[in-house]
């Protein structure tokens, strides 16, 4: 059958089961729709699932979680935070929320994650923190990054929006020796709550501050102390906080998505393995696998067309759409966007690796709801265009 006769295959779709739906309905019927028992349960479950004695603080997006993390670490005007240009803007915009400056560095051509040698070179007397991104769900070189941070007295916040579940040197992302890790439950991520995120830390001071700032700067200690003794009208505001709490409706979805996270990862990996074997031999650079023994979440399957490909990247994507297949690009690097380019005088020449990846890259559909024949269809289309 010709691909063009088939219904459009979306780039991404969430997998929501009857368990999630029933849990949402139970929240709706209970009358407790904003942050309450379900949000608390999701946090407890998340900490238990990760292990390693971490605390989990649910938020309404990973962007909110990253903002809270930097705020809790005291990042402010005049500070510099090193991150990668090859990411989504949320990684860097949170630095600007606090009046600090992102310092963008290039990525490693093999791992597509932040280039650790470039981190070293970007450190100045103003540097306060590093935000690595586990690009596509493959871990960044955390051993080296945490080593650099220790030597220079810097904080490490992992943007783990792609990294559930991902391991680094055998340990789950979220349990490493960084200061904070932030996960995303946006609609297209490996598990979803529609919108949502989780801030994870082992530092009780960071956890305490993030909890306060997540909900208007209300001091929960005062809140809890007084609610125990007198009618619960009394609270104290200790800072101009934010409105970043996760609703019970969203947490209801998350509780069941989390239970499926390992199963989802296996499904994603099976699809990635099929792509790996079927697309080998085409004029493509296939995505990097995890280090031996480590888990890749396979959030994204990112290919790069080589110079000998019959068509360029833009045409390739157009032709995939003609075959009824949704595609994306990860990412238009931050140095290309007007705000970042103009504010920090960035040029493509400053980021040769990211720029080259950007010009050649395309992301194939990869999600748990894809059927065997959906996967075959993607493989067939890529072979037809590039073979
Ligand atoms: C999705 C994403 C975010 C933001 O997540 P939200 O939950 O949508 O705020 C941050 N960083 C990266 C790398 C992402 O892919």
Per-residue pLDDT at 224: 58
> How many Å apart are CA 142 and CA 132, to the nearest integer?
8
Please state whether beta strands 80-84 and 101-105 pair in parallel, antiparallel, or not at all (unpaired): parallel
Token representation of residue 225: 């102390």
Q: Does the domain at residues 18-105+112-259 carry the CATH identifier 1.10.3720.10?
A: no
Note whether 86 and 359 are within 8 A (CB): no
Residue-wise pLDDT for 261-287, tens only, equals 999 999 999 999 999 999 999 999 999
Tell which one of 112, 159, 244, 329 to mutate to probe ligand 1, the residue whose CB is within 8 A of the most ligand atoms: 159
Ligand 1 centre from 383 Cα, in Å? 31
> How many Å apart are CA 17 and CA 20, to the nearest integer?
6
Per-residue pLDDT at 186: 98
Ligand 1 nearest atom to the CA of residue 65, by list position: 9
Measured by CA distance, the residue closest to atom 8 of ligand 1 is: 186
Tell which one of 59, 114, 162, 186 to mutate to probe ligand 1, the residue whose CB is within 8 A of the most ligand atoms: 186
Torsion on CA atoms 73, 77, 79, 83, rounded to nearest 10: 80
Q: 52: alpha, beta or left, given left = phi > 0 and alpha = psi -120 to 50? A: left
Ligand 1 centre from 282 Cα, in Å? 31
> How many Å apart are CA 360 and CA 286, to the nearest integer?
12
Please state whether beta strands 180-184 and 155-159 pair in parallel, antiparallel, or not at all (unpaired): parallel
Phi, psi at 175, each rounded to 5°: -115, 10
- Confirm whether 189 is a catalytic residue: yes
Positive or negative CA dihedral for 74, 78, 82, 88?
Answer: positive
> How many Å apart are CA 33 and CA 31, to the nearest integer?
6
Say how many CA atoms lie within 13 Å of 186 toward its Cβ. Answer: 18
Token representation of residue 187: 């609609």
> How many Å apart are CA 377 and CA 6, to the nearest integer?
10
Residues of the chain with pLDDT under 50: 1, 226
Residue carrying structure tokens 């999701």: 42
Tell which one of 61, 64, 138, 161 to mutate to probe ligand 1, the residue whose CB is within 8 A of the most ligand atoms: 161
Measured by CA distance, the residue closest to atom 15 of ligand 1 is: 161
Q: Ligand 1 site: residues with CB under 6 angstroms?
A: 61-63, 87-88, 90-91, 133, 159, 161-162, 184, 186, 197
Measured by CA distance, the residue closest to atom 1 of ligand 1 is: 161
Token representation of residue 51: 């292990």
> How many Å apart are CA 211 and CA 160, to the nearest integer?
19
Ligand 1 centre from 137 Cα, in Å? 12
Per-residue pLDDT at 228: 58
Token representation of residue 362: 């395309």
| Burial (0-12, 13-18, 19+ Cβ within 10 Å), 281 | exposed
Q: Does the domain at residues 262-386 carry the CATH identifier 3.90.1150.10?
A: yes
Per-residue pLDDT at 5: 78
Ligand 1 nearest atom to the CA of residue 66, by list position: 10
Q: Where are the domains of the chain?
A: 18-105+112-259, 262-386
- Maximum separation of any 2 CA atoms in the chain, in Å: 74
DSSP run (H or E) holding 25: helix 18-30
The string of DSSP letters for 72-91 reads HTT--TT-EEEEESSS-THH
Within a 10 A sphere around the Cβ of 320, how many other Cβ atoms? 23
């Amino acid at each position: 059958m010709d691909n063009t006769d088939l219904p459009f295959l979306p780039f991404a779709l969430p997998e929501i089961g009857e368990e999630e739906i029933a849990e949402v309905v139970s929240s709706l019927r209970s009358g407790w729709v904003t942050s309450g028992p379900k949000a608390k349960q999701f946090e407890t479950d998340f900490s238990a699932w990760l292990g390693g004695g971490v605390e989990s603080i649910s938020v309404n997006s990973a962007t909110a979680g990253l903002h809270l993390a930097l705020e809790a670490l005291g990042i402010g005007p005049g500070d510099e935070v090193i991150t990668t240009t090859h990411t989504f803007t949320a990684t860097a915009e949170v630095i600007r929320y606090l009046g600090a400056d992102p310092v963008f560095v290039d990525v490693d051509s093999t791992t597509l994650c932040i280039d650790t040698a470039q981190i070293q070179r970007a450190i100045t007397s103003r540097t306060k923190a590093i935000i690595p991104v586990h690009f596509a769900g493959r871990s960044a070189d955390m051993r080296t990054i945490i080593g650099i941070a220790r030597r220079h007295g810097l904080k490490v916040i992992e943007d783990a929006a792609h990294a559930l579940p991902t391991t680094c040197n055998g340990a789950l992302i979220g349990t490493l020796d960084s200061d904070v890790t932030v996960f995303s439950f946006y609609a297209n991520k490996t598990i979803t709550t529609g919108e949502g995120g989780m801030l994870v830390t082992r530092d009780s001071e960071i956890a305490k501050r993030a909890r306060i700032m997540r909900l208007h700067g209300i001091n929960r200690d005062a809140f809890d102390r007084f609610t125990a003794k007198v009618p619960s009208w009394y609270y104290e505001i200790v800072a101009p906080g934010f409105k970043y709490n996760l609703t019970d409706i969203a947490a209801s979805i998350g509780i069941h998505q989390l239970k499926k996270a390992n199963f989802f990862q296996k499904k994603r990996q099976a699809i990635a393995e099929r792509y790996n074997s079927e697309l080998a031999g085409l004029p493509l650079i296939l995505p990097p696998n995890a280090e031996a023994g480590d888990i890749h979440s396979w959030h994204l399957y990112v290919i790069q067309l080589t110079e000998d490909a019959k068509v360029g990247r833009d045409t390739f994507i157009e032709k995939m759409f003609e075959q009824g297949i949704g595609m994306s690009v990860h990412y238009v690097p931050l140095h290309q966007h007007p705000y970042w380019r103009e504010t920090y005088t960035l040029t493509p020449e400053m980021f040769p690796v990211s720029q080259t990846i950007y010009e050649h890259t395309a992301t194939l559909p990869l999600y748990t709801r894809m059927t065997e024949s959906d996967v075959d269809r993607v493989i067939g289309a890529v072979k037809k265009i590039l073979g």
